[in-house]
Structure 1
Amino acid sequence: MKILKLDESCISNPKSETLRLSNSIFRISDLRCRIRPISKSAALKRLLAVALVLLPLALFGQQGLDPSLLLEAPIDAWPTYHGDYSGRHYSSLNQINASNVKGLSLSWIWRGNFTSGGAIVGGEGTDEFNGPGVVKAIPLMVNGVLYFSTPDNAFAVDARTGRTIWHYFWKTQGGIHIGNRGMGMYGNWLFFETPDNYLVSLDATTGKERWHKMIADVKQEYFSTPAPLVIRNHVIVGMGGDSLDVPGWLESRDPDTGEIQWTWNVTPRPGEPGSETWPDAYSMAHGGGMPWQPPTYDPDVNLLYVPTGNPNPVMAGQSRNGDNLYTASIVALNPDTGKMVWYFQASPHDTHDWDATQVPILFDAV
C-alpha cells in the first residue's frame, strides 16, 4: 500500500479537477501538482498529531457541565448567566491585571451566520428574521466551548480558535426580536428561549434539538429574552412583554422532558395574599410584572430571588389603584415548589415603568 502526499503548491491553485487512484477519488487543485509517496511511520505521526488536536475538541462537548461548578466562584468555567448563582458576574482570576492589560492582542474573530444556511433547523414557524445579527448574550464557557444565543439562533464556538462547532437556527412565528440574554446548561443539555416564546433544549455536543415547549402565546405580544437558570433538576423560565395588558409568571421546567413542574403568578388571584392591593379580579389577571431578568439563588437557604417588572397598564395607574403586588418587587421563592417565602416591593403602584428588575446580588456581609 502506498501513502501519497500532495505537494503544498496544490493548495493555493484555484483550479479544481479530480484524480482517481486505485478505487479512491481525490480532488486536487491542479493536475500539475506533484504527488509524492511518504512512509507509513510519517503518515502515522501525522495522524497522531491530528488526533491529539481533534480528540480534546470532541471531548469538550461530551463531558457536559459538572453541576458542582454552579456552586463555586467562576474560575475554570462560566457555567451560568451570572457566572455563578450570586449574580456578581465576578471571577477571582488575576492572570490579566492592571499592569499587563495593555499588552493584550487579538487572538481570533468570530463572524456569525444568522441565517438557516448550513444550520440545524428547528422551529414552529416558517419565517426567518432578517434583522441584524447582534450578540447581546453572556456566553457560557464550559470545557473549552462557548455557548451563546441570539434571537432565533444558538451557537457552540471553540473558545481557543473561534471555530463554529455547530449552529442551531429557529424558524420563528414572529415576536419582538430585541435580543437574547443567553443559555442555561444541565449536564450535556442546553436551554434557551425564543422571541416567539418557546423554551428549546439542545444537545450540547451536536446542537441537535431535544425538545421545545411553548412558554406563552406570541399573539398576546409576549416575547422571551431571559437566560434560563438551572437549579438541580429545575429549569427556571421567565418572559417579557407589556404591549398588551397580560399577566406575568415564572415557571420551572423538567430538564429531561420540558414539562412544567410549577408556576408562580406575579400577580395574585382573588382571595390570595396580595389580592387586596388590586381593585378587582380583572386588573389582577392583566397586571403584568414580567420576570425578564434572570434570577439569583442562595443554596445555603434554598431561596430563589426573582426581580419582577412593571404593572400593567404600563405608566397608567388609573384602573389599578393600590400597591399592585407583586410587581416591581424582589420575591424569594422555594425553587422546589415555587412557593413564595417573602417579598420586598421597591416601587408600589409603579406608574413610571421603573420595574425592579435589577440583579439581586448576593454577598456575605460582616
Structure 2
Amino acid sequence: MKSSIPSWKTLAGFFFALISVCSCDTSDDSTFDRKAHIKQIQANPDFQSWAHYLGDPERTHFSLLSQIDTSNVKQLVPAWSYVSGEVSEDRTTQIQTNPLIVGNTLYGISPANDLFALNAGSGELMWEFSPPGTDQTGLGLSRGMVYWTDDKGGQARIFYASGYQLYAIDALSGKRISAFGKKGFVDLREGLGRDPEKVPIVMTTPGVIYKNLLITGHRTSESPGAAPGHIRAYDVISGDLIWIFHTIPQPGEYGYETWPEKAYTTTGGANNWAGMALDE
C-alpha cells in the first residue's frame, strides 16, 4: 500500500462522496406521504448499503444507516487514508468518484483511472487494476462504477470505463474478465455509425444494471461529424450489444421526420453523459 501523505485535493472526492451518504431531503411537502415513503425505503435493501453509484438505482443519495447522526458527527476522527500516488506537480489532480462499499470492501477510481479495492475497515489496498497505456488521465475523470453479482452470488463484477473502453473486472481478484467483449472490454466507439478511429468517446459516468443488462450512455462532442449519443445495453456476461436506442432517430423510427433528411448520418451529440437512474 502506498503511504505518502495525502493532499486534500486528492481526497476531496472521497470525503464529499462519503459525506453525501448522510444527506437527505428535509423539505416540507404537505402532499407527501412520509410514513408510506419510509416503509418503502425500509423494505428496500439498497438503502442499507452503498453498492450502487449515488446510493441506489434511483440515485437518491440516501442511506438508512443511522450510526452517525447530528448528535455524534462532531466526534468523528480520521480512521485511515489512502493515497493513489498520482498527485501532479501543479496539484490539479482530483478524485471525482463516488466510491462503492460492498461488504467490507471499498471500490474507487484514481485520477489516472486505475480501479482499486480497499479493505473498508483498515484502508489496506487489496488489489489495483491499471488499464492498458501508461497514462489514462487525459481520457476523462471517472465518477463511478457499477457493481453486479448474479442471483447465486457466485460471480461479482465491477464495470467501469477508462476513456472509450468499458471493462469487466472480477470484484474479488481485480483481474480483467477476458470473456467479456474483446479480451475483457467493449470498445464504446463501435456500433455508432461512425469511423471508430475518428470519434472521441469517453464514459465518465457509470450506467445502470437492469436484470442481466448494463445500460450505458457516454460523452461525445457536438460538432459536425461527431458520434451520436445513443443509449446502449450490453449483456453483463458476454459484453454483447443487446439493444440500442437511437437518440437521433433513424428511418422508420419515431421522430425521424422532425429532423433534416439523413441527419443521423452526420449529426452528433444528443447524448447522456451525466448518468441515468433506474425506476423499476
TM-score, length-scaled by structure 1: 0.54
Residue in 2 that maps onto 1:136: 96
Kept in 2, the 8 Å contact 1:267–1:284? The answer is no
Kept in 2, the 8 Å contact 1:269–1:285? The answer is no
Supply the AA of the counterpart residue of 1:236: I
Kept in 2, the 8 Å contact 1:278–1:284? The answer is no
Change (3 A) 1:227 1:80: same
Residue in 1 that maps onto 2:167: 200
Residue in 1 that maps onto 2:74: 102
Residue in 2 that maps onto 1:215: 188
**How many residues align structurally?**
214
Residue in 2 that maps onto 1:241: 220
**Counterpart Cα distance in 2 of 1:135 and 1:88:** 21
**Counterpart Cα distance in 2 of 1:183 and 1:218:** 25
**Counterpart Cα distance in 2 of 1:170 and 1:106:** 30
Residue in 2 that maps onto 1:52: none
Change (3 A) 1:93 1:132: same
Once the two structures are TM-superposed, the CA of residue 92 in structure 1 deviates from its matched residue by 2.1
Residue in 1 that maps onto 2:37: none
Residue in 1 that maps onto 2:123: 162
Residue in 2 that maps onto 1:268: 249
Supply the AA of the counterpart residue of 2:158: L
Once the two structures are TM-superposed, the CA of residue 153 in structure 1 deviates from its matched residue by 1.0
TM-score, length-scaled by structure 2: 0.69
Supply the AA of the counterpart residue of 2:54: H
Change (3 A) 1:247 1:114: same
Once the two structures are TM-superposed, the CA of residue 204 in structure 1 deviates from its matched residue by 0.8
Supply the AA of the counterpart residue of 1:145: T
Once the two structures are TM-superposed, the CA of residue 144 in structure 1 deviates from its matched residue by 0.8
Kept in 1, the 8 Å contact 2:222–2:268? The answer is no
Once the two structures are TM-superposed, the CA of residue 220 in structure 1 deviates from its matched residue by 1.0
Q: Deviations over 1:1-32 (max 9, x none)?
A: xxxxxxxxxxxxxxxxxxxxxxxxxxxxxxxx
Change (3 A) 1:144 1:291: same
Matched, 1:112 2:84: yes
Question: Could you list the runs of 5+ residues in structure 2 that have no partner in the other structure?
Answer: 1-42, 150-155, 178-183, 190-195
Once the two structures are TM-superposed, the CA of residue 243 in structure 1 deviates from its matched residue by 5.3
**Counterpart Cα distance in 1 of 2:173 and 2:205:** 23
Residue in 2 that maps onto 1:325: none
RMSD of aligned Cα (Å): 2.6
Determine what percentage of the aligned residue pairs are the same residue: 27
**Counterpart Cα distance in 2 of 1:80 and 1:158:** 18
Which structure is larger by alpha-carbon Rg, 1 or 2? 1
Question: Could you list the runs of 5+ residues in structure 1 that have no partner in the other structure?
Answer: 1-69, 116-130, 300-366
Change (3 A) 1:175 1:263: farther
Higher relative contact order (CA 8 A, sep 6+): 2
Matched, 1:180 2:142: yes
Kept in 2, the 8 Å contact 1:268–1:284? The answer is no
